[in-house]
Amino acid sequence: MFKPKDQNPPLAALLIFAASAFIAATTLLAKALGTETLGPPLHPMQISHGRFLFAFVVIVSAVGILRPQLRRPHWGLHIGRTSFGWLGITLMFASVAFIPIADATAISFLNPVFAMVLAIPLLKEGVGPWRWLAAAVSLTGALILLRPTPESFQPAALLALAAAAVIGMELIFIKKLSGKEIPIQILLVNNAMGLAIASSAVVFVWQMPNPAQWAALIGIGVLMACAQACFVNGMARADASFVAPISYATLIFAAIYDFAVFRVVPDPVSIIGSSIIIAGALILVWREARQRQALSR
């Protein structure tokens, strides 16, 4: 029987903050691998394969050390979650090779909005006016980041937008899995199946990485495994309404990393669009917290 973690908001905040730094670092490495920074650019599917391969090694090692009690997985839910997760991360890695990491990260914050919309037909959830307002605000921010004029339009930003939509679908499966299996089992099955899918796809685009690229691929996998562990444990130690806003620190880390390595400075359009997306997400978080408080009375 899975025993919930004791509530510890300060520790939860620290864990989510660390997860944000790790996630932003994976996009930085993906950009380095997808450009000529470390050598001939690698295909996004090869970068995604490295992410699943080395994250799987880390998680299997953790399972071997911790020896948790595993149960029979819900295979249908895992297949859906992993398929959309693999496609989403591949699209995300493809986008950061062409647009600023901060822009791609900001657009990825639309995934809860897409999940909200998809939950209407798939989970039969009702969506009130506040949720629609949050969706409209966030989508306005995304439209600004797309720069929809002939002179400034970023076609690659559509890859990040598609990634957000696909990951939104993944969240539907995660929601169905939550409460059915312990977190480490979900991570183990997800990464095992993701590795199988990525291995099947990468044979068509594989090229031998150089030593620096191997190091970056290993780094992506290790950082993603650390991010998942921090995020899952942080969510278990505090209310979602408390930890969710902290995850937006990913955008700050992404901007810092992009400037430090690629000397990319966010322009006013990026800052305005990102701020509007986060404002929409915060409206959604605030509304969810109010609803939970009302139900608990």
How does residue 109 score in pLDDT terms, banded at 50, 70 and 90? Answer: confident
How many domains is the chain built from?
1
Q: In the numeric block, which tokens belong to residue 100?
A: 């600023």
Q: At what angle do helices 249-262 and 9-34 cross, to 10 degrees?
A: 40
* 184 SS3 class: helix
Q: Residue 146 domain-assigned?
A: yes
In a domain, 4, yes or no: no
Asked if 42 contacts 244 with a C-beta cutoff of 8 angstroms, the reply is no
Residue 184 belongs to a domain? yes
Structural domain includes residue 38? yes
Specify the pTM.
0.85
| pLDDT at site 197 | 96
Dihedral sign computed on CA atoms, order 19, 24, 28, 33: positive
Higher per-residue pLDDT: 1 or 18: 18
* 199: containing domain: 9-296
CA-CA-CA-CA torsion sign (198, 200, 202, 205) = negative
According to the model, what pLDDT value does residue 3 have?
57
Interval 229-270: pLDDT, tens: 888 778 777 766 567 677 778 888 998 999 999 998 888 888
Q: Is the pLDDT of residue 213 over 80?
A: yes
264 within domain boundaries: yes
Is 126 within the bounds of a domain? yes
242, part of any domain: yes
Average pLDDT across the chain, whole number? 87
Please tell me the distance from the alpha carbon of residue 23 to that of residue 51, in angstroms, as a whole number. 12
Q: For residue 2, is it within any domain?
A: no
* pLDDT exceeds 60 at position 93: yes
